[in-house]
């Protein structure tokens, strides 16, 4: 399959070159089910599962029998901590150790990543030849302004700690280290800023 040509820009917004990428990675027909499964897996595995309710034996009090067994005309009751009483224990509530983790096989996950990158390759990727910032927020704000992304939900993929520092105070900008980008991240942002060298690494990993 022939390669796909993507535009490469300088930090000041000028088109400086193109990069050839494989259509097997950046030009596949997006597989919606694979992407859906990848997002579901990501969200399920991100759950902390810390919800916890007290069972009958964990609720304090209730040691004394509320009234005698017979002769009152009321139903028998042995404890005020019974699940049928207000303030009693909870039946079948979350235990705090529930496991929501699910898996997606590697082949389908790779297809989901290819599908997400292929969607972005149409008009969502901003590929830079280089990115130099001092770590100040104003540097990243200036870059976003160059590409008219001030109000656009944008993901920056980089391994430079100064880029992370520059992104951290901007509400609509996310940051991910290269090699640790999920399908959820790619679908959650409208634009992705990435370096030319990183694009080639992504291509090699997903081929």
Would you place residue 179 in the very low, low, confident or very high pLDDT band (cuts 50, 70, 90)?
confident
Q: pLDDT exceeding 90 applies to what percent of the chain?
A: 88
CATH superfamily membership of 3-47+103-206:
Ribosomal protein L4/L1 (3.40.1370.10)
What is the rounded distance in angstroms from the CA atom of residue 49 to the CA atom of residue 106? 25
Q: Is the dihedral of CA 135, 183, 99, 83 positive or negative?
A: positive
The residue written with tokens 């770590």 in the block is 135
Domain ranges of the chain: 3-47+103-206, 48-99
The tens digit of pLDDT for each residue in 135-171 reads 899 999 999 999 999 999 999 999 999 999 999 999 9
| Residues whose CB is less than 8 angstroms from the CB of residue 188 and which lie 6 or more positions away in sequence, other chains included | 153, 155, 174
pLDDT at 49 over 70: yes
The reported pLDDT for the residue numbered 3 is 84
Predicted structure pTM score: 0.83
pLDDT at 206 over 80: yes
pLDDT at 85 over 80: yes
Would you place residue 2 in the very low, low, confident or very high pLDDT band (cuts 50, 70, 90)?
low
pLDDT at 36 over 90: yes
């Amino acid at each position: 399959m022939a390669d796909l040509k993507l535009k490469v820009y300088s930090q000041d917004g000028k088109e400086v070159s193109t990069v050839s990428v494989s259509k097997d990675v950046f030009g596949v027909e997006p597989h919606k089910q694979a992407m859906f499964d990848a997002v579901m897996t990501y969200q399920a595995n991100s759950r902390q599962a810390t919800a916890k309710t007290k069972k009958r034996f964990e609720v304090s009090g209730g040691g004394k029998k509320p009234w005698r067994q017979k002769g009152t005309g009321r139903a028998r009751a042995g404890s005020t901590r019974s699940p049928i009483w207000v303030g009693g224990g909870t039946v079948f509530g979350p235990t705090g150790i529930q496991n929501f983790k699910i898996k997606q096989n590697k082949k389908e996950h790779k297809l989901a990543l290819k599908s997400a990158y292929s969607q972005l390759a149409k008009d969502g990727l901003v590929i830079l030849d280089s990115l130099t910032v001092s770590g100040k927020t104003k540097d990243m704000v200036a870059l976003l302004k160059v590409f008219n992304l001030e109000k656009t939900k944008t993901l920056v993929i980089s391994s430079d700690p100064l880029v992370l520092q520059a992104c951290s105070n901007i509400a609509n900008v996310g940051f991910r280290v290269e090699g640790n980008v999920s399908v959820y991240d790619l679908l959650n942002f409208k634009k992705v800023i990435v370096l030319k060298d990183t694009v080639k690494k992504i291509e090699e990993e997903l081929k």
